[in-house]
Structure 1
């Protein structure tokens, strides 16, 4: 193996496997020529996917915490649809997994997510589908692929499916376009960090080492296959330098005329001149913030800050989660119940207040107010807290405090009080004019 071929292989083998490397073959005309290695820029899309996964997980988790309540003639009813939306949408997924798949498709697919209901009642999110859109006729869905690669052969009309589309369907395209620039910056920052922290050595060869060019190396048949100059350099780059660049202690012998020294390092991004990952972190933070803004999600909640900020929580639900909830609620009421049934009180209602009630202390004041004005009974509050209801008649009663007395009852109480006062003063019953 020639010396310059071995140098090329040394750099290629020690490089990052994820980088595309092109090497210009060595030219045998001059021993002074060196192989040039080019590295192409790589788009680190995994960072973008990571940020999108955070957004999808946060939204899906919030949706799964909501209360899905079905009603029959205006009264709560726990039937098959209630069970599927709260616990088991299909036999292979629980509620959390189902809504993650649903939100993922709504974000990544510009046409949204398609939910098919099997004959057994299972709700299944399609992997892919084709939609034929019409103006005055129902849309037609075809080429439907279900999980596991199952192809759904039948074409379905709009009324046969639950089609859920994120209001901001371009959010994925927006994130992609923004990331094109940030991805390049991130790639450069990673390369600079690796380059700045890499060991850079230069091998100095003086005239004393050139004497090895005159010493031929023969094969078993006595043919000249190279020189000791080439053989020594091959051994250096293939074996000895590996010990120097390893993280272990080592001693490497060098022939006379060879000297190793450090290459002058460029200044890093700190006062001491060292290279840190600060630039990479800053650019990644920008990517995370851009994704959070695209979903109208507070940056603090997106990043998992533990600071308790009621305003951020409210903004998260109203701006980021509610569009998904309203879409699901409207589409199911439209397709599963229809206008006539909806007017009869047969419907689905998705409540976001359960997201807050997971913290009993934070919900305590609101629960007391709801109970005091007769909105909730004791069992209603227990259900929202995820606790077991009390099987007693009094737990279903609704109460209203005296502070919220009916105006008609209050007028009767005033008239009785005035009448009693007049009799106590010996003036008899009050006249109609006086009582008024």
Structure 2
């Protein structure tokens, strides 16, 4: 330290340079992790929100208080779509979600809670907090909807995956910033550096000049006595190549997050090749298992055992086609072959059975005939 003091005393022109505020961080790092997770969560939540939860009793669908809570207004402050999107978000980020029912039958999503597990007795939930309100009572497992997403929390997996991709992403950004960086020097007269007032005004001038060069397309720097600004490098990087490299890393991380959740990447990017096959896999292996967790919880917590065994249960209508015209040919073949009745097809497509008795009958409208036992022709 003594040596540096001696150097600064002998060279007062050098000392003031360390006071200039010229090394600034001008770019904000893109939140790649948050973008990828929110993209997948929003996509999954939008699909769930289009499903219809229906209570079936005595062979007919009932619209009661539970139907209203699950499909329209779960509580006073949320619509059903917002409610289920919050549920999905909690399941992805926290791997579990607790839904309780208040005294006025509102369905509320707990922000935090303490879960006490038992081997042969019911689990209990205490210190349940919804927004800023903490419930003083103890909730039993049979009184709540407790959903788990997977056996293992996805958050550590995504965090460890992001560490590798984040390092690579940061290196690419740093490399591209260096390629396109504007580098310059400022020469200041020695007499100016000894005057504190001149230095203060010079520092203010440099700050304004720095902002103009960084923000404006055209920046004119006026010459000042005892002050000279000179650029040594104006950047020569290929902007298109840098954007492609950044997009590849971002898309790679998004692909891995989507794979962990079970969303085909073709659906996220809007690719049209084999979209029907990817949609079918998405509904079969991601949406339906997810909805089954909710359906099992509702059947177990809101429907008595005796009623369930007598046929009362919650059913979920999943959006598996855009319009009924998409399945018209398949419906025609199933009915015309006599394999299914009209009402069986309606239920499979998610519609309520018709009261018309003709839709409970089998019809054969094609010339289906039985082969001869010898295999040499048909019976006319």
Where do residues 385-404 of structure 1 align in structure 2 (5 Å cutoff)? 394=356, 397-402=359-364
Gaps of 5+ in 1: 19-41, 218-224, 406-436
Would you say the 8 A contact 2:172–2:245 is kept in 1? yes
Deviation at 1:331, TM superposition (A): 1.3
Aligned position for 2:84 = 99
SS of structure 2 residue aligned to 1:135: coil
Pair 1:65 & 2:50 matched:
yes
Aligned position for 2:23 = 11
Aligned position for 1:332 = 298
Root mean square deviation of aligned Cα: 3.6
Cα distance change, pair 235–93 in 1 and its aligned pair in 2 (3 A): closer
Would you say the 8 A contact 2:335–2:363 is kept in 1? no
SS of structure 2 residue aligned to 1:198: coil
Deviation at 1:200, TM superposition (A): 1.3
Would you say the 8 A contact 1:189–1:280 is kept in 2? yes
Q: Deviations over 1:78-124 (max 9, x none)?
A: 222222222222232222111101111111113x1111122332222
Q: Deviations over 1:168-193 (max 9, x none)?
A: 54222211111112122222322333
C-alpha distance in 1 between matches for 2:200 and 2:150: 68
SS of structure 2 residue aligned to 1:88: coil
Where do residues 375-394 of structure 1 align in structure 2 (5 Å cutoff)? 375-377=341-343, 380=346, 384=350, 394=356
Cα distance change, pair 61–311 in 1 and its aligned pair in 2 (3 A): same
Q: TM-score under structure 2 normalisation?
A: 0.79
Aligned position for 1:364 = 328
Deviation at 1:342, TM superposition (A): 1.4
Q: Deviations over 1:117-170 (max 9, x none)?
A: 223322221111110111111101011111x31111111111111111113542
Aligned position for 1:27 = none
Where do residues 145-156 of structure 1 align in structure 2 (5 Å cutoff)? 145-146=129-130, 148-156=131-139
Q: Deviations over 1:218-269 (max 9, x none)?
A: xxxxxxx58x7x578546524455545551341421557846132385x74x
Cα distance change, pair 197–72 in 1 and its aligned pair in 2 (3 A): same
Pair 1:108 & 2:93 matched:
yes
Match 2:125 to one of 141, 162, 169: 141
Q: How many pairs does the alignment contain?
A: 352
Would you say the 8 A contact 1:71–1:347 is kept in 2? yes
Cα distance change, pair 143–241 in 1 and its aligned pair in 2 (3 A): closer
C-alpha distance in 2 between matches for 1:173 and 1:106: 14
Aligned position for 1:416 = none
Would you say the 8 A contact 1:356–1:363 is kept in 2? no
Gaps of 5+ in 2: 1-12, 368-380
C-alpha distance in 1 between matches for 2:313 and 2:275: 34
Pair 1:237 & 2:206 matched:
yes
C-alpha distance in 2 between matches for 1:189 and 1:377: 59
Would you say the 8 A contact 2:55–2:313 is kept in 1? yes
